[in-house]
Amino acid sequence: MVTLTNRKENLKNSKNPDRLSPITERFEAVFGTAPTFIASAPGRVNLIGEHTDYNDGYVFPVAINKYLNIAVRKRSDRRVVLHALDVSESCDFSLDARTPIPHQTPAWSRYLIGVASLLQASGKQVAGIDAVITGDVPIGAGLSSSAALSVAATLAFLTAASETAISENDKPELAALCQRVEHEFAGVKCGIMDQTISLLGQENCGLFLDCRSLEYEHVPLNLADHAIAICNTKVKRELATSEYNKRRAECERGVEILRRWLPGATSLRDITVTDFKKHEEELPALTQKRCRYVIEENARVVAAVSALKCRSEGTSSRTDESLIAFGNLMNASHHGLRDDYQVSCTELDLLTDIARDITGVVGSRMTGAGFGGCTVSIVRNDALETFQTRVTTEYHQKTGIEPEIYLCHVSNGAQVF
């Protein structure tokens, strides 16, 4: 087990302790003393496997070097006092309150209230805290700022209460708890991918996750000659929550109908592309499109992971072919999201079209819930300057919007410093 003293050494030895200095200074300005520790959780980008997680399917996300940080000091009472720097809002509540959510509470605070409530309900020890919250995971961009907030809050409450490290074996259970926070306190019926990758991310690896069994495998990316480029449309995802829940309901309806011919199916995960083609005409047109996308996307994730494994093991020529195959699967994923699942938008389609027209771009697709947010592209390093120039110029010419481009490293999961 790692004590807080050990964590201070961890902070000194971390690759980028400077990113934690500003929040330490702000905590001191607000509370008049230094924080005891900082809980830090990364955002994520999903390379392939979108909208499959809540269908018990496969996903392949990576944690990125953008973080949600919570600076914390344990209190002697049962109060929780929170200051969110990026939105200039504050909130406080009691861990013993009968009504968990105070009247007119800020939306972001629901995640911390939810974490505290569910941790206590599960029998975990939770302590009162003073906390300052800030980060650089873009809000509303589809990079899982809400999951990062829930995960960082979970580490904050548990660490304040016990001063011991979270074990690797505990992380899947904590991911499930953070998923419940989204369901019960934010009203979003999300899958478990975002919380899991935020906790279990590993540097330079993607996480091949089975969202039914929660079995996972860290798969080396070997992208030394390439970068992951995330492009923000700057379009707010106003429809994402309501349409997200509609897509989930449509998928469940498809399973219910297909069970007449495939009685063993409990989710779209259980249906192969071959079996679906035999019975797809029995489904209403809209339901058919939704189910087709999810079933084909599951197959694409498996093929994409297989391509990366060949890349790790193969010769240089076979390695190049494998990465090309991975990129083609990313492109096909976007086409399915655009045409069958219908969660893309004009701006997302434009960004992927611009990217794919640039020599050195392996593949490009929308990522996240859709209706705005971001695209993700794999770009050869020697093409990055051209990529940034053309994406910025051409997107602005056609939309009048200046996109944001994040060149990201694949990072480790949540930590306490």
Q: What are the catalytic residues?
A: 194
Task: Return the beta strands (E) in 261-310 as ranges.
Answer: none
**Angle 145-162/193-200 helices, nearest 10 degrees?**
50
Number of H helices, E strands in the chain: 12, 12
User: Tokens standing for 16?
Assistant: 């980028």
Q: Under a CB-based contact definition with an 8 Å cutoff, are residues 378 and 226 in contact?
A: yes
| CA pseudo-torsion sign 138, 140, 144, 149 | positive
- Rounded CA separation 303/361 (Å): 20
Cβ neighbours of residue 59 closer than 8 Å, sequence gap 6 or more: 46, 48, 49, 50, 52, 53, 191, 193, 207, 208, 209, 211, 301
Nearest to 294 by CA among 10, 56, 7: 56
- Rounded CA separation 231/351 (Å): 8
Q: Under a CB-based contact definition with an 8 Å cutoff, are residues 114 and 122 in contact?
A: no
